Structure 1
């Protein structure tokens, strides 16, 4: 896509965001958040003006504004059942690819000094917007959506492979496949849940131990804490002279140094373990359900694949929206990898049946 078409695309995108945010802001009750969304909307309009000027300076047509009515209606519909800020935040995170596109445009396109400076400012604006929306997502607890779909994906893919392999062994006993899949899935959910519990708890214990050690260091040799912080800055790539300057400015600020040296975590280990386990277990049901209703595994397996494929499509779509990557590519990546694993597992099951002469 040449620079003119890209600029026209960016103009449309920014104007679309302007109208969308202004419309959704009307149903936001909290005044400070509503004003923040409206401010962002006006900034998007200002960004669109930059792209309009870019096109005019090159005697190119500024496209007519075409609002994505489907997206706007969908967002309005969701706003009736969810906090409008969450709805906007959810969709905005899916637009994070704009920052990369703008950066590539900045690096690859010939711009005059004024245009270059304005585009740099736009990129910083977009980063600020993304940070704001990401903060809203985290404050409202919606970041758990990503954790849930990833945990669900693990359970879905692993059990799809398991039931596919078992289908080749228990050709005429689908109930056995279904029960086995549930048992494996339940064990997997326990493993994932316990693993998450131990991971979060261990991190909390490590943090507590580090805090206690820091208390001792500050009491016995406070200058050691400053030196340790300086070394951490240097190891992270900060120039030695700058690291020394920063460390000296912070001085013996105990609270500041502790926060910078110790990685804090607000996660609750019990909640994390239960959430991860249930997410995994939820994914197990999609490939397993058909085996409790089909007369044999030949019929159950295709339905298992279809159900898993539909669930994977939903999971891939959510991940794509949250990550700002191509939905089509993510769906293809996840579905193909899952089905490949199922195919390999089925072949392995067939080999095991032949080797051990299982006839069930």
Structure 2
């Protein structure tokens, strides 16, 4: 180190080495994700890896001879790398999005403003990539999450409420199993009707491709095609101009251009299929609803069964809340706590009512 180089403290060197390890690990995550993709997504992920390489070089230049032996990335980044190599998909992208949002470069004087800006933009890039997967998942995933949580909460409330009324363990078990079957069938049927109706409404709003066949016979002077575009929200002048382009191209080339709205998104995939939503809702409700019944199936009774059922349901609520938080790009801890409080609040209220009913009957 020459006389013009400012002294660096051991703490700074350690921090820079951690940054260096993190950049190398994050670049590896992006390369692993890119290896599982093709086309535009692959190019975007490789470009992100190249950006992390530039950040890596910044810390190498700062460290100089103090770079030392390569360090491993932190546990979070190593976990991301493991998942990226084996899973990929929207779940890993959601985790990467969360990781990019926690960059500390903006508060570190040794990181450049450009590097801090890069990390912010990286979060938005990953958010956009993850959004595509979230759109594909949203229909069936929504049904699955709602189904599991409804099963957990409603059947725990049912089991605790009926148990608190002082009935026998056998009655509690039969009631829980009946609640499982009735709830699962109701959820499945409800999701089928809901998604099917929503898709039918979307389909009714989608331009009919067969209308394109009428274009060659339109009165060019009247140009009623402009009315289609005006009905879709275009200004009159803009609609006239677009209709003129379509008809001029038809007259010059004989090519019939479709009149569907090119900017209208295909929302059908964001809602999933009706059968997919129904089946996933049925199965996930049943998988959630069986949890509060398990202690009774294994012969537990009374307070022990209540405590075990509550603990099992609590763990499941935390897991589903955390997964929902991760996939939505928000805090998994906040979502987990919210799920737990809502679930136990509903079950607790039913338990208290069961106690009151049992006391009044007695």
8 A contact 1:174–1:300 mirrored in 2: no
Offset, 1:198: 1.2
The one-character-per-residue Cα deviations of 1:258-309 (angstroms, maximum 9, x if unpaired) are 3545753133212221112211111111111112233433221111001111
Deviates more, 1:269-278 or 1:221-230: 221-230
Number of aligned positions between the proteins: 320
The alignment's TM-score, normalised by the length of structure 1, stands at 0.69
The answer for the alignment partner of 2:82 in structure 1 is 76
The structure that has the greater radius of gyration is 2
Please tell me whether the aligned partners of residues 100 and 122 of structure 2 are also in contact (alpha carbons under 8 angstroms): no
Does structure 1 residue 276 correspond to structure 2 residue 272? Answer: no
- How many Å apart are 1:329 and its aligned residue? 2.2
Output the TM-score relative to the length of structure 2: 0.69
- 1:345 shift after superposition: 0.9
1:39 to 41, 47, 54: 47
Does the residue aligned with 2:205 lie in a helix, a strand or coil?
helix
- The reply to whether residue 168 of structure 1 matches residue 177 of structure 2 is no
Structure 2: which 5+ residue stretches go unaligned?
A: 1-11, 219-223, 247-256
Q: 1:75 to 1:17 in 2, by over 3 A?
A: closer
Q: For structure 1, which segment, 330-339 or 38-47, has the greater mean C-alpha deviation from structure 2 after superposition?
A: 38-47
| Contact kept? 2:184, 2:286, Cα under 8 Å | yes
Q: Which residue of 2 aligns with 1:344?
A: 349
Q: Deviations over 1:86-144 (max 9, x none)?
A: 2xx42221343467668x998xx9x9xx947x7656544432233224435667x6985
Partner of 2:125: 128
Structure 1 residue runs of 5 or longer lacking an equivalent are: 57-61, 232-242
RMSD: 4.5
**Contact 1:211–1:262, Cα closer than 8 Å, also in 2:** no
SS of residue paired to 2:261: helix
Note if contact 1:148-1:275 (Cα within 8 Å) is conserved in structure 2.
yes
Describe the SS at the equivalent of 2:267: coil
* Inter-CA distance 222–187: structure 2 relative to 1 (3 Å threshold): farther
Deviation of residue 175 (structure 1)? Answer: 2.5
Q: 1:271 to 1:188 in 2, by over 3 A?
A: same
Asked if the contact 1:194–1:273 (Cα under 8 Å) also holds between the matched residues in 2, the reply is: yes
For 1:351 and 1:300, how far apart are their aligned partners in 2? Answer: 20
Distance in 2, Cα, partners of 1:335 & 1:214: 49
Does structure 2 conserve the Cα–Cα contact (< 8 Å) formed by 1:170 and 1:297?
A: no
> What is residue 302 of structure 2 aligned with on the other side?
297
* 8 Å CA contact retained: 2:314, 2:340: yes
Cα distance in 2 for partners of 1:77, 1:208 equals: 38
SS in 2 for 1:258: coil
The 3 A distance-change label for structure 1 pair 260 and 20 is closer
